[in-house]
Amino acid sequence: MKKTKIICTLGPASSSKEMIEKMFQAGMNGARINTAYGNLAQYQSVIENVREIADIPIIIDVKGPEIRIRASQQKVFSKGDILEVGFDGEEVCFNHDIYDEMKVDDEVYIDNGKIRTRVIELKDRKLRLLALNSGALEDGKGVNIPNKHLSVPTFPEKDLEIVKFAKKHDVEYVALSFTRDAEDVRNLSQINGFEGGIIAKIENAEGVRNVEEILEASSGLMIARGDLGVEIEPEKVPLVQKSLIKLCNQKGKLVVTATEMLESMIHQPNPTRAEVSDVANAILDGSDAVMLSGETAVGEYSVDAVEMMARIANETEQAVKSNVEDTAFINISDTVSKAIQEICQSMPVDKVIPLTRSGYTARMIARFKIAQQIIAVTPEIKVKKKLELIFGVYPVLIDYRNEKDKIAAVAKRLNEMKLVTDEETVLFTSAMRTVMKHASNSIEIHKIKELREFLSS
């Protein structure tokens, strides 16, 4: 069973029930909605289609303090052309008014740096941009202005509307684009009251600098390498990727690697060898999940891209090793997870089964990339869906809360579901006689057959 999780962006090529079903069967573990495009009615339709097909988490990607191009129609240009871009309803404009913060010679990059321009004049509240290469301006494409801190609000009006929508529809995760600091995350969770998971997208130098405080405030990180590779030097991205993944692994938090992973499969049935290596290296670095963007949203080979990603994962994850370093005591679950790693290395354990109310213990065990499958049993449907994105975790919904012998009840149910067999040796961990947070304080190891015989005697 595949351990690496695959997130698919749903769009015009992949939002139908038929396509969602095909991608789910091919290996999709989470569905992303990119709100740079579409409207609330379309998002609701996607959510309903996903939930009808599979019990997987939905990630709504809000644009946050991100600058994008708005264009009523495509504008083709050549190198050396002068482009006029306004701020208020013109044929081509920015979605935020940054006129007063711009200067002549500022560089403006569009569409992950595919279009490069330089400001040559500011006049009549418009920027006149010199095109440094040929291309086409299209609606919704991202804009980067490197090495410049702009006072763009964390949540423009459309984002606030989308956050309300996400709360109304019990969306499992919101991904916050261009997260700059922990305050951006707190604005989403505290001021706007979003109670689901928050994935902070690291896309600029400010986010990289403040990543530790951002991670403390969020459920995890998405390393969005497209914009990141424009905002900082592209040659720095690989080592930044490795360091951010390691940090998330250390703390047992979700980490997603994203952008241009199988980009050529938007129009081609097979990826380049470099893309295959890129996906494999993201998995070897310790990613919980890898994400497909345009490949599934608008690509001609959406299902093939998911199948290819799953094939790469199945081949690569055999070589994945833990990069977690031993640290001082954090809490009981942290200590127990370290003990479980050592047990799994020193004796023949077939499966590890944490009973978890919050998902925390399952994540702490999963960060060690143990060879054994982790079947996380939880009575909470939201926890079950969130754990769908954690490497090596197969979450199962079982309500064990009122059982006198919780482990016995779970073992019996998993045996009935054919998730464990009589001959398997299984390690269980749970919180016994405690209400303390993060206190999975017991480890039991049983052969399922012997456990069942003991209980029936």
Q: Report the alpha-carbon distance of residue 189 to residue 185 in Å, rounded.
A: 6
Cα separations in angstroms, 217 against 147, 182, 188: 25, 6, 10
Is-catalytic flag, 413? no
Cα separations in angstroms, 357 against 60, 193, 196, 405: 24, 22, 15, 16
Q: Which of 117, 257, 259, 316 is catalytic?
A: 259
Is-catalytic flag, 363? no
Would you say 29 and 340 are in contact if contact means Cβ atoms under 8 Å apart? no
Q: Report the alpha-carbon distance of residue 128 to residue 102 in Å, rounded.
A: 11
Q: Report the alpha-carbon distance of residue 208 to residue 198 in Å, rounded.
A: 17
Strand 135-137, strand 75-77: pairing: antiparallel
Instruction: Compute CA 259 distance to the chain's CA centroid, rounded to the nearest angstrom.
Output: 11
Q: Which of 3, 5, 32, 63 is catalytic?
A: 32
Evaluated on CA atoms 268, 272, 278, 280, the torsion sign reads positive
Is-catalytic flag, 125? no
Q: Which of 3, 68, 251, 367 is catalytic?
A: 68
Tokens of 455: 């209980």
Is-catalytic flag, 32? yes
Q: Which of 5, 201, 253, 406 is catalytic?
A: 201
- Active-site residue list: 32, 68, 201, 259
